[in-house]
Amino acid sequence: MDKPKASWWQAHRPTTRRLIQLYSALLHNACVKGFITGEIYKGSGKYLCAPGLNCYSCPAAVGACPLGAIQNALASADHRAGWYVLGIVLLYGVILGRTICGWLCPFGLVQELLDKIPTPKLRKSRLTRALSWLKYLLLAVFVAAVPLWYALKEGIPLPGFCKYICPAGTLEGAVGLLANPANEGMFGMLGALFTRKFVIMTAIGLACVFCYRAFCRFLCPLGAIYGLFNRFNIVGVKVDDGRCNRCGACVRACGMDVRRVGDHECIHCGKCMASCSRGAISVKAGSVTLKAPDMLCAGDSAGAPARRRRTGRVLWAAALALLGLALVWFNALDPAGKGGAPRAPVEAEAPIETETPAETDAPAAEDFQSDAPVGHEAGQRLEDFTLTCFDGTEFHLADARGKVTFINFWATHCTPCIQELPYFDALYRAHEGDIAMIAVHSSLVTKDPVEFLADKGFSFPFALDSDDAVTALAGGTGTLPQTVVLNRRGEVVYNKIGSVTAELLEALYDEASR
């Protein structure tokens, strides 16, 4: 009775690589409560690029996607060079190369799990090897050329690969957010672009069922970048030339389109070790052997395997301690995970003192008071706040009573946000004196908003929501753009995430003026 159980476990227990993949996926997405709240984590961790392909907009993601960061850096080329992002990616490449793809990439894990579905599999061939070069074309066009073109010619950020293709962004970001009931209002944002991306994601997912890691092999620009470092990366699969007899068994057993172990298509997964009858392949960090075949590596002493096992246990203990600390920090301790730093209590609203000449028919301040409950839903009164604008003035929401108020939440890294800013400016100019307006930049700053706005000539004020306090008041989730419209009594008549048009803004002004 015990033997079949032991045999089943031996056949199905996760390998060390699978455990590391699961560990990495959880570490990339340590803010697990984001799936419960439906909000994107926007803390300081988002300024650091994670090594694997993991969407910034995933509710649980605690770091930035390196591919998205590269595109954002290129989109900022009209203002500054993205040396920080370039340096991080170079560091990852030199140390790990495509070892990241084989061991640390969350979307790589998704592809391998899809491949577990029992179906006929497409075998590698000359065609698949030819298709493997397609990812370099996508890298050149959608990751490099498109962001640069829009930055230098149009002056707007447009991460081409993220916007038009990336299946990880669709799955982790869009689907991850839309799956939460708290974000049901986002369905109104969906259009042809989301439909196309959803179809692309589905097609890639199906391809991964029939073809091992299809996205990684044929389409992933991040894998193309890391592949450039495979020739000299420090950590990865290494071949002992003294033992190798050039039989080619390792290449035949590999699911990737490699021509030799360690070339630009190799993800250093180490599966080829089992196919080598001479024990010539091992996973190393420089001269240190991390994973070896059953027979001893060249230069190993008799006690080397036992020492590696002991070292592995110590490393796993340290890694689990780090994961536990990350889970506690991002889900319980980080102020950004609690909706921003605590803000000072809002004092009771003071009566608006005005001096109205007796001969005028201007409404008295009391006419604009509201008994509606405080909140951010339609019909509720938005809680008062004060922001210091980029021009040094202060915007007090209480001072806007008697005017129709527009609050726009935006960011320099948000293409739809930038495209709609002229509509707000035109509305403000058309109704100047009868309208109050402020554009509130997200706490996450990738490009200096003051520098960005310097030559735009907008006539309404802009401010930074440094601790996300105003975003929290308005019920924001971190998804941009978001527009809030208040009537003359400070009551919400419109509060939605998504782009607006000039016609919609004018209609909202008319509605709020009644």
For 286-301, what is each residue's pLDDT tens digit? 988 888 886 656 556 6
Cα separation of 16 and 23, whole Å? 10
Top pLDDT among 367 and 373 is at 373
| In the predicted structure, residue 360 carries a pLDDT above the cut 60 | no
Cα separation of 194 and 190, whole Å? 6
303: confidence class by pLDDT, cuts 50, 70, 90: confident
pLDDT of 79: 58
Mean pLDDT of 25-52: 90
Mean pLDDT, the chain, integer:
87
The verdict on 182 and 331 lying in the same domain is yes
Top pLDDT among 338 and 7 is at 7
> Is 439 inside any structural domain?
yes
> Is 240 inside any structural domain?
no
Q: What is the CATH number of the domain that holds 385?
A: 3.40.30.10
Top pLDDT among 33 and 339 is at 33
As a whole-number percent, the residues of the chain with pLDDT over 70 amount to 89
Q: Is the previous residue joined to 481 through a cis bond, with omega within 30 degrees of 0?
A: yes
The verdict on 111 and 173 lying in the same domain is yes
Q: How many CB atoms lie within 10 A of CB 77?
A: 13
The verdict on 34 and 140 lying in the same domain is yes
| In the predicted structure, residue 351 carries a pLDDT above the cut 50 | no
The verdict on 24 and 153 lying in the same domain is yes
Instruction: Write out the residue range of the structural domain in which residue 451 sits.
Output: 366-513
| In the predicted structure, residue 507 carries a pLDDT above the cut 60 | yes
Mean pLDDT of 343-367: 42
> Is 192 inside any structural domain?
yes
> pLDDT (tens digit, 9 = 90+) per residue, 459-495?
999 999 988 899 989 988 778 899 999 999 999 999 9
- SS3 for 194-227, per residue? HHHHHHHHHHHHHHHHHCCCHHHHHCCHHHHHHH
Torsion of CA 362, 365, 367, 373, to 10 degrees: 150
Structural domains in the chain (count): 2
Of 335, 353, 387, the position where a domain reaches its end is 335
Structure tokens at 406: 């527009």
> Is 152 inside any structural domain?
yes
Helix (H, G, I), strand (E, B) or coil at 247: coil
The verdict on 324 and 437 lying in the same domain is no
The verdict on 331 and 370 lying in the same domain is no
| In the predicted structure, residue 355 carries a pLDDT above the cut 60 | no
- Pick from 1-5, 162-166, 249-253, 509-513: least confident: 1-5
Q: How many CB atoms lie within 10 A of CB 140?
A: 13
- Which distant-in-sequence residues (6+ apart) come within 8 Å of 229 by Cβ? 93, 94, 97, 98
- Pick from 88-102, 178-192, 265-279, 489-503: least confident: 178-192
| In the predicted structure, residue 171 carries a pLDDT above the cut 70 | yes
| In the predicted structure, residue 1 carries a pLDDT above the cut 50 | no
Of 282, 316, 335, the position where a domain reaches its end is 335
pLDDT of 141: 97
| In the predicted structure, residue 108 carries a pLDDT above the cut 70 | yes
The verdict on 329 and 374 lying in the same domain is no
Mean pLDDT of 108-129: 96
